[in-house]
Chains A and B, each alone.
Chain A
């Protein structure tokens, strides 16, 4: 690595930190919203189910880039909000992540067989008790692997926040490229950093999955 680029190590490091922070935040918010939407998606009322389906289909179909622009310019204009790039990027990432997580939640809950519900109900449990003690602990094991996938794709989508001027890892690299005039090396570093982050997440996910197995 040329010393010229190496001198900017702290810029890359800060970019990594910000990328981790915003994607983590989006995953937490997206997980919470996704849980609610996922539950509504299997609610006993058709109107509620349809609203959830519309939400899911819209936000997982619209490209993240369009959502970034939509949140940054569109929301600011339509709602007279002065959204910072950070807020706009967080909202955009959360919308996509929540739509994906809603489907993960639905699949997780539906993976628990009817017999489990019936066994628990026949012991006198209420629906919330069945959910909490019997269904959720089983669903979460099914949800874990695809959740890791959602996190990785959210983290990669966060690079698009550079387009609205949010200085995360990609934007940091692009700024270094501008000041040094060195392209290939900088882009290679960015790519390697993304790989290291995402591969680490995969490893942690795999470790969690092993821990969550029923029998050790």
Chain B
């Protein structure tokens, strides 16, 4: 993607997130440069999903700052809408709009939010349906699609906005095992295109084959941040070792 490689797409400095007295993110620093695929792993409840939700302002933050393409992300400012338009988010529970067809799910925001001509958007959407291998399902409603198909529509919906960053929040956790592979295959294609991606997942295989960086989080902190092969082969931190051991040998 065409960003100055010297400046990071995303910069997080000293991020703190609390829910009441409960500290969810405890001082996270992170730089992500264009084209990187960063995979977050760790026990549940350690702030991985919350971190993604802070990046596009779905959560407000209590300390530190987030810069997306140099601009501060402020959940309560009116500039947040412009930031979100450039960040695609894929949710664990898909969250497709149930009253619209798959195609309409993909075209809604580009037409209504970006104000693009619907003919052009539809054209682009058809291309996206080919990319996620669902060209035959464009006119189905979400309720008629399997979980894996819904998630691929959700990916197409995010791509339709031409985002500069894609965030996947446990994209395969709610899927039947037989449809997980289809979703991961699409995500792998996107990574090979050079897209910048943040992925929260328990799919260690995906992290190993596709990820550029693997980040192990625990207790709201980044414990280890290394190339996946290295971290999986030789985890430095005892907590990382214990966690990877538990999910690799279950």
Residues of A within 8 A of B (CB): 113, 115-116, 118-126, 129, 133-134, 137-138, 141, 214-215
Contacts and interface: CB of A to CB of B under 8 A. Distances in A.
A215 B141 contact: yes
B98 A122 contact: no
A122 B89 contact: yes
Nearest to B52: A122
Nearest to A123: B109
A129 B95 contact: no
B153 to A, nearest CB: 12
Contact of B81 (A116, A119, A126, A215): A126
28 contacts: A113-B95, A118-B91, A119-B89, A119-B91, A119-B95, A119-B154, A120-B97, A120-B109, A121-B84, A122-B58, A122-B84, A122-B89, A123-B108, A123-B113, A123-B158, A124-B83, A124-B109, A124-B113, A124-B114, A125-B81, A125-B112, A125-B113, A126-B81, A138-B97, A214-B99, A214-B141, A215-B143, A215-B144
Contact of A121 (B58, B144, B161): B58
Contacts of A122: 56, 58, 84, 87-89
Given A141-B99, A214-B98, A123 B143 contact: no
A119 B150 CA distance: 13
A91 B117 CA distance: 46
Interface string B78-112: 00011111011101010111110000000011001
A119 B97 contact: yes
Contacts, number: 65
| Max chain A Cβ within 10 angstroms of own Cβ: one of B82, B98, B141 | B98
Contacts of A215: 141, 143-144
Contacts of A141: 99
A195 B92 CA distance: 49
Contacts of B95: 113, 115-116, 118-119
A211 to B, nearest CB: 13
Contact of B84 (A113, A124, A133, A134): A124
Contacts of A137: 99
B91 A129 contact: no
A13 B224 CA distance: 81
A141 B113 CA distance: 24
A121 B81 CA distance: 8
| Max chain A Cβ within 10 angstroms of own Cβ: one of B56, B81, B89, B95 | B95
Contacts of A134: 97, 108
Tell me the dominant secondary structure on chain A's binding face.
Answer: helix
Contacts of A118: 58, 91, 95
A133 B161 contact: no
- In the A-B complex, the 5 residue pairs with the smallest Cβ-Cβ separation, listed nearest first, are A124-B85, A119-B95, A123-B109, A115-B95, A122-B89
A134 B141 CA distance: 15
B144 A123 contact: no
Given A119-B91, A125-B81, 10 more contacts: A116-B95, A123-B158, A124-B82, A124-B113, A124-B161, A125-B113, A133-B108, A137-B99, A138-B99, A215-B143
Nearest to B98: A214
A129 to B, nearest CB: 6
Interface in B100-139: 108-109, 112-114
B128 to A, nearest CB: 14
Given A138-B99, A214-B141, A215-B143, A123 B85 contact: yes
A116 B100 CA distance: 12
B161 A116 contact: no
| Max chain B Cβ within 10 angstroms of own Cβ: one of A116, A119, A120, A129 | A119
B84 A115 contact: no
Interface string B207-218: 000000000000
